[in-house]
Amino acid sequence: MAKEISDRVLAIAESATLAVDAKAKALKAQGRPVIGFGAGEPDFPTPSHIVEAAQKAASEVSNHRYSPTPGLANLREAIAKAATKDDGLEFKSEEVVVTNGGKQAIFNT
């Protein structure tokens, strides 16, 4: 018996972000000079202090759960303080929501 793919799955379109990224990679492979603004992947290795902090956080059992929907309270507080210090913007931590990228932020609004 042949398995069919549902119409809903077939209707899923390619991500525009990934399409732009694929085009940039193809042009780079041809030797063309390209500045990629597609997927937002850095073209440099993650700094070692960040890798070490991520490894430490991953080993802590308290981090083996979903975080609160708006983000971790201490992170939201730090972002609010940084906005004031760096940009002169005043936010309460309750006004800050942490997302895993721009698409999620737009989707959530």
Please report how many Cα atoms fall inside a 13 Å half-sphere around the Cα of residue 63, on the Cβ side: 8
- Predicted confidence (pLDDT) per residue in 41-100, tens digit: 777 899 999 999 999 999 999 999 999 999 999 999 999 999 999 999 998 999 999 998
Mean of the pLDDT values across residues 93-109?
Answer: 85
Domain ranges across the chain: 12-41, 70-109
Nearest to 97, CA basis, from 107, 84, 87 = 107
Element (H, E) at 97: none
Please check the confidence at residue 40 and state whether its pLDDT lies above 90: no
Binning the chain into helix, strand and coil, the percentages to the nearest 5 are: 55, 0, 45
- Predicted confidence (pLDDT) per residue in 7-30, tens digit: 877 887 878 888 888 898 899 999
pLDDT at 1: 60
Which pLDDT band, with edges at 50, 70 and 90, does 2 fall under?
A: low
For residues 1 and 24, the model is more confident at: 24
For residues 86 and 103, the model is more confident at: 86
pTM: 0.57
